[in-house]
Amino acid sequence: MQTANQPGTTHEAIAPTGGKTEMDRRDFVKELGAMGLAKWAGIGAMEQAAATPLKQLAANKGLLFGSCLALKYFAQSAAYQRLFLTQCDIATPEVHMKWNSLSSQPGVYDFGNADKFVAFCAANHIKVRGHTLVWHDALPAWVSGQLTAENGQAMMVDHIRKVAGHFAGKLYSWDVVNEVLDPGSHRADGLRDSPWLQNVGVDYIEQAFRATAAADPNALLVWNENYLELSNGFGIAKRRAMLNLLDGLLARGVPVHGIGLEAHLRGDQASVLGDASYEAFLGELERRGMKIFITELDVQDATLPADTGARDQAVAEIYSRFLTASLRQQAVKGVVTWGLSDAFSWIAGYRPRKDALPVRPLPFDANCQPKAAYYAIAATLQSAPHRG
């Protein structure tokens, strides 16, 4: 056997999905070259990346890497289960811990699927990001129907006690609040005009964090938010609102430990991603003691060319640009993609292509084979500074 990790030599590689021969890899590298993708890494480095799971490249730098997961995907594809186990050391339940997944009748909770998810992760040494306790979306009909200003606080706190209490001690983190900012609500504080704001009041975020800390004192408590990564008017307004609100929360001793940046990116957003203002924002969060996680990363390809090579390259460039800037910041502790394989992505329903071609938003293709996006992610992890 030859020495691993030596540029240009053959070595025994464990391809992410297993089973790739040296010949396959050479063909793949040639193919990438023809598509203009070899730039994501020199051939030697790329072979090393192909041989090395993303969780390992991340761990080398003191970072976590993972994905969201819905258990039904494993029932559909054993290859996907293998891929997941190879690549991830942290996972987010895509649906199983949302309120409408846990409860379809007033006060009655069924933790069956969420418990299965947690047990699967525990058996495989995968950390779990609890997702999510307080959100305007994914509410069961009974909650939307019953919620009033009289019972709002009790309903929210009771839900947190039940759910965070049920999983206490088993989760790495909780997304305590989700998507609570919305410049479109035209409020001076930037808050979304959500059912929780309306029925609990402006201090619902504070109450939610305090209730979660009481129910599960060990979980890292995260404020998960979308579009902060965009350096345009919308994103900049959200950043400003978050920093103002965070200053108030922290001054009052509210236990906010981390910020989640969803990062559902678009293929045509290169010009508003990863610039100096974004890095300065991450620095502001760090200054406030926040751990930062990229929590739902994917790249919508609806506006990109039909040609697979050109499309994959544009998607890879977005991953590269965004992650390069993000990982330069020491406060960023982990990267979680919203799926691993194009076979199982919410983008197929949320942002389908007009030409009806299958979407390609994730690092692995529908057959769980690595794409240019995979190599772009691998390269950014390899060039990321080590966390202190």
Where does this chain bind ligand XIL (CB under 6 A)?
Answer: 94-95, 178, 262, 296, 346
Q: Which of 97, 118, 108, 91 is closest to 340 using CA atoms? A: 91
HEC secondary structure over 342-386: CCCCCHHHHCCCCCCCCCCCCCECCCCCECHHHHHHHHHHHHCCC
Contact partners, residue 362, CB within 8 Å, separation at least 6: 298, 337, 338, 339, 340, 341, 342, 345, 371, 373
* Nearest residue to ligand XIL on Cβ basis: 346
Q: Left, alpha or beta for 194 (phi > 0: left; psi -120 to 50: alpha)?
A: beta
Q: Which is nearer to ligand XIL, 51 or 88 (CB)?
A: 88
Q: What 3-state class would DSSP assign to 163?
A: helix
- At 189, the amino acid letter reads D
Which residue among the candidates 94, 225, 296, 317 is catalytic per the annotation? 296
CB of 124 to ligand XIL, least distance (A): 21
CB of 73 to ligand XIL, least distance (A): 11
CB of 61 to ligand XIL, least distance (A): 26
For the chain, what's the residue count? 388
Q: Which is nearer to ligand XIL, 47 or 296 (CB)?
A: 296
Q: Which of 387, 359, 361, 386 is closest to 372 using CA atoms? A: 361
- Residue written as token pair 């063909």: 27
Q: Which is nearer to ligand XIL, 300 or 313 (CB)?
A: 300
Is 285 in contact with 331 (CB distance < 8 Å)? Answer: yes
- Alpha helices in the chain, H assignment, sequence order: 22-34, 43-51, 54-59, 72-76, 78-87, 99-102, 112-123, 141-146, 152-166, 195-200, 204-215, 233-251, 276-287, 308-328, 347-350, 372-383
CB of 94 to ligand XIL, least distance (A): 5
Q: Which of 332, 253, 328 is closest to 285 using CA atoms? A: 332
**Could you give the angle at which helices 276-287 and 233-251 cross, rounded to 10 degrees?**
10
| Distance of alpha carbon 40 from alpha carbon 98, whole angstroms | 37
Q: Which two tokens stand for residue 316?
A: 């890879």
CB of 208 to ligand XIL, least distance (A): 15
Active-site residue flag, 279: no
Q: Which is nearer to ligand XIL, 94 or 216 (CB)?
A: 94
**Could you give the angle at which helices 372-383 and 43-51 cross, rounded to 10 degrees?**
100
Q: Which is nearer to ligand XIL, 52 or 178 (CB)?
A: 178
Which residue among the candidates 47, 94, 179, 317 is catalytic per the annotation? 179
Contact partners, residue 208, CB within 8 Å, separation at least 6: 133, 134, 156, 160, 176, 177, 196
| Distance of alpha carbon 179 from alpha carbon 241, whole angstroms | 12
CB of 85 to ligand XIL, least distance (A): 20
CB of 328 to ligand XIL, least distance (A): 25
Q: Which is nearer to ligand XIL, 40 or 223 (CB)?
A: 223
CB of 262 to ligand XIL, least distance (A): 6
DSSP single-letter state for residue 103:
-
Active-site residue flag, 179: yes
Q: Which is nearer to ligand XIL, 47 or 94 (CB)?
A: 94
Residues annotated as catalytic are 179, 296
